[in-house]
Structure 1
Amino acid sequence: MRPLGLCALFLLIWLNTALATDNAVYPVDVTHWWVSLGEQASIQVIERHLAEQGIVWITEAMAGSGTSRYMDVVRRRVAAGNPPMASQVIGYDIQEWARQGKLANLDAIAEQQEWDEVVPFDIQHLSKYQGHWVAAPINAHSTNWLWLNQPQLSRLGLTVPDTWPDLIHMLEAARLADIIPLAIGRDAWEHTLLFESVAAGAGGAEFYRRVFLDLDPVALDDAMLGLIFQRMSQLREYMDEGMNTRSWDQGTDLVRTGQALMQVQGSWVNGEFNAHGMIPGQDFACFRFPDTQGVFLFNSDQYMFFKDYPVDPGIRNTFASTLMEVELQRELNIATGAAPARVDVPRESFNQCGQRAINDLRAANMRRTVMGSIAMGNANPGKVKEAIYTVVSDHLLGRISDAQAVDRMKAVIINAARSQGN
């Protein structure tokens, strides 16, 4: 990571160049965490569309996927009086910054582009603070996906797993064929991403919403929580020791190269496969996690804008409005593998998995089964998310039993409900 002062130096160089040549070039300082191959392709789409508006961004990219280590860098910059103009952000981190009064109000742009009409309500819930737009959502990743290596799937004679027994049958077939059944990495957010799909599949949409979004202690069900952790223990048997040192994208590479059969991950995997020129139905397959058909667990990448950054408001508004344009969201999400954050983007040019994601989002939006991802911070404030991380990861790594995990998860929900006055 380069020193923070270097950003200011680059901005001065760009500004002096613009003034000397009379070109309308507006350099701005932006932070993001898109550093993998597929993510870099996505960033290039945004950069190109902004460049057409005369906006050139000086980027500070840090791997972190919206984790605390990424946001700690942003916090240090803000505390030092050197905020970026815009920062990538997900979930309840938006609310934290808005509560501190750090974010610019985007209501005028939102009204002009009719964001209220085209962005699903559950995403709007995170993009707004006290009824005002403070962030611009650029996609709607879904996390309850299975990603599979198509040649291995065909070789093993396997088909779509509609139910939990179907999934176990697939994993067992992979183990007998001496390939890694289920690729996963070391991070607690990955473990929790797997957990949320298991929870939504076992308990259904209503259980997931009441327990993990509403934090309703009345909805806690010992038997259901026990079933969820029993299923997580079953899945543990199909993971390899390499998970202890692996990142999420290294797990994706195992599936891509056929060393592993499947990965439970968000639709950013589609973007990684796209970047490698892979074709769904030929090189890979995408299925909904068993028993979560009709549910869209989402993670929406967004951009927030710090109001203390010294820039003409018109440039900031142009940046935000460009992010929300139909064509940018179409091109961007072909690259990211996600559904656009707008429900009115044409789907024809997306690949098979992308079109399925768009269709699923629109259908789930009508049924009110678009629900925030626990793992990606779209379901709960940071302290609750981290507490769930600890329980889920300790359990998946075999540090606590199923029964202990149930008790600890109940305590997390009850304590969170009390702190929020539920």
Structure 2
Amino acid sequence: MFGPRLRRLSLLIALGTAPGLEAGEVEVLHWWTSGGEAQAAARLRERVEAEGHRWREFAVAGGGGEGAMTVLKSRALSGNPPSAAQLKGPEIQEWGELGLLGELDAVAEAQDWDALLPPRVAARMRHDGHYVAVPMNIHRINWLWGNPEVLAAAGVAMPTSLDELFAAGEALRAAGVVPLAHGGQPWQDATLFETVVLAEAGADFYRRALVALDPQALGSDTMIQALTTFRRLRGLMDEGVPGRDWHLASAMVIEGEAAMQLMGDWVKGEFAAAGLVAGEDYLCAPAPGTEGAFGFTIDSLAMFRVAEAEDLAAQRDLARLALSPQVQVAFNRAKGSIPARRDLAVAAFDACARLAIDDFQAAEAGDALVPSLAHGMALGGEAQRAWMDIVSRYFNDPTISPEEAARRLVSLAHALP
């Protein structure tokens, strides 16, 4: 009878390419296309190709992934899905319900994913009790990024509350600097809004309003206050917001045109690609008012069913390599996120990543982890897009009152099954 360690070793050997089996191909659909993201994807591709497999690149630009999901639906529903696709949260379950995903249980057992992964991460990689996706990372949503030289020149520090953020904005405006860089796309507006909700009302209210979509929470005075504060943030931005990509907003902070940006930690990949050092050339802190809470999303690769034996072997190698220590470190250092597996030495990461690792563990222990609605961890598909549309329209149309926006959110919650 095999013991657990010997059994895992035998599984790892069995998962290797069998003698006489040709190298396979993996076609990977993703939207890791900006500077830091592209470098991260390259680290995974290099490892796959080093094992003799062919990596067929299928990158679709667009920070929110909408373009990639449109292409995936067209391909998958016509019977020609890629080997793997970047999916998040409920989307994994939706594709699993269609019977299009392949199982990764053998790989998961060989690497002991149940022990390596935080429970809330592992749960999102399973469908119907089986692993069908591999997590690449954990992103924190509620971050504030700052240019230390710009802030110092205006005589302000990184704000720790929303009141301090607005006060800093006044000083930065007086110094001739854009206080807050932002890109005017629905997913970016929604990212900002969920951060404000977390800051104004905390993790419990966030889960009621943005995860459970409780109509009472969505229509409450607390939500109306959050919507009011959200609209106020528009006054900290420049007139070039509409249509701007997120990485161009990050470039404004890098180049000193803007002082700060509220955005997830993929921003750090842009800073790293520009050769900047965390804690020295740029600053990071929990978004004002959200210290102790951790809004998260997970980049994962879901595996679609493949027919050829060599392609199945390549797909399983892709999953195994994605969660290997080497790829987890290299991918996340380039991407700006933290590893999905929790047994890696933190010394390999920069100051902001080390803070994120500590904060994730503290939030996990304190029940303050919240899944991002804007980034597909709370709702999927049409419901998520409808929610983002309401939030973005409100942010960009001053004729819509906070009360009316709240009513629209309540109506959406009632309309969902």
- The two structures share one fold, judged by TM-score above 0.5: yes
Q: Identity over the aligned pairs, expressed in percent?
A: 35
1:242 to 227, 240, 243: 240
Residues of 2 paired with 1:49 and 1:381: CA distance? 31
Instruction: List aligned pairs for 1:404-415, cutoff 5 A.
Output: 404-415=404-415
- Offset of residue 309 of structure 1: 4.8
Contact between 2:185 and 2:243, CA under 8 Å: does it hold in 1? no
Task: State whether structure 2 residue 208 is matched by structure 1 residue 210.
Answer: yes
Q: What letter corresponds to residue 361 of structure 1 in structure 2?
A: F
Kindly indicate whether the alpha-carbon contact (under 8 Å) linking 1:128 and 1:135 is maintained by their aligned counterparts in 2. yes
* Uncovered stretches (5+) of structure 2, i.e. residues with no partner: 1-19
Partner of 2:343: 344
Alpha-carbon distance change, 155 to 24 in structure 1, aligned in 2, over 3 angstroms: farther
Q: Report what 2:79 is aligned to.
A: 81
- Spell out, residue by residue over 1:340-387, the C-alpha distance to the aligned partner (whole angstroms, 9 max, x if none): 111222110211111111111122222232221111111112222112
The C-alpha deviation readout for 1:116-150, integer Å capped at 9, x for no partner, is: 22222332332111222111010001110011111
Partner residue, 1:400 = 400
CA distance in structure 1 between the partners assigned to 2:123 and 2:25 by the alignment: 31
Show CA shifts across 1:154-195 (max 9, x none): 212222322111111111211111111111112100000000
The aligned residue for residue 181 of structure 2 is: 183
CA distance in 1, matches of 2:64, 2:111: 27
1:372 is matched with 371
1:64 aligns with 2:79: no
Q: 1:304 is paired with a residue of what secondary structure?
A: strand
Alignment gaps of 5+ in structure 1: 1-21
What pairs with 1:106-185 in structure 2 (closer than 5 Å)? 106-185=104-183
* Distance in 2 of aligned mates of 1:218 and 1:395: 20
Following superposition, the deviation at residue 204 of structure 1 comes to 0.4
> One-letter code of the match for 1:320?
A
The aligned runs of 1:309-324 (5 Å cut-off) are 309-312=307-310, 313-324=312-323
Alpha-carbon separation, structure 1, partners of 2:168 and 2:222: 24
Secondary structure of the 1:237 match is helix
- Give deviations 1:383-418, integer Å, cap 9, x for gaps: 2211211111011102511111111122223333xx
TM-score, length-scaled by structure 2: 0.91
In angstroms, what is the RMSD of aligned CA positions?
1.8
Q: How far, CA to CA, are the matches of 2:22 and 2:100 in structure 1?
A: 28
Distance 1:229 1:414, change over 3 A: same
The amino acid across from 2:360 in the alignment is L
By how many angstroms is 1:239 displaced?
Answer: 1.5
Structure 2 counterpart of 1:355: 354
Structure 1 CA distance, aligned partners of 2:100 and 2:309? Answer: 15
Instruction: Give the Å deviation of 1:294.
Output: 1.3
The answer to whether the 8 Å contact 1:330/1:346 transfers is no
Partner of 1:328: 327
Question: 2:118, 2:342 within 8 Å by CA — same for their partners in 1?
Answer: yes
> How many residues are treated as equivalent by the alignment?
396
Give the Cα separation in 1 of the matches to 2:185 and 2:81: 28
Counterpart Cα distance in 2 of 1:90 and 1:144: 18
Partner SS for 1:341: coil
SS of equivalent residue, structure 1 residue 59: strand
Separation in 2, partners of 1:353, 1:168: 24
Whether the 8 Å contact between 1:147 and 1:286 is mirrored in structure 2 is yes
Aligned to 2:259, the other structure's residue is in SS state strand
Alignment of 1:189-228 (within 5 A): 189-220=187-218, 222-228=220-226
Partner of 1:270: 268
Match of 2:400, SS state, is coil
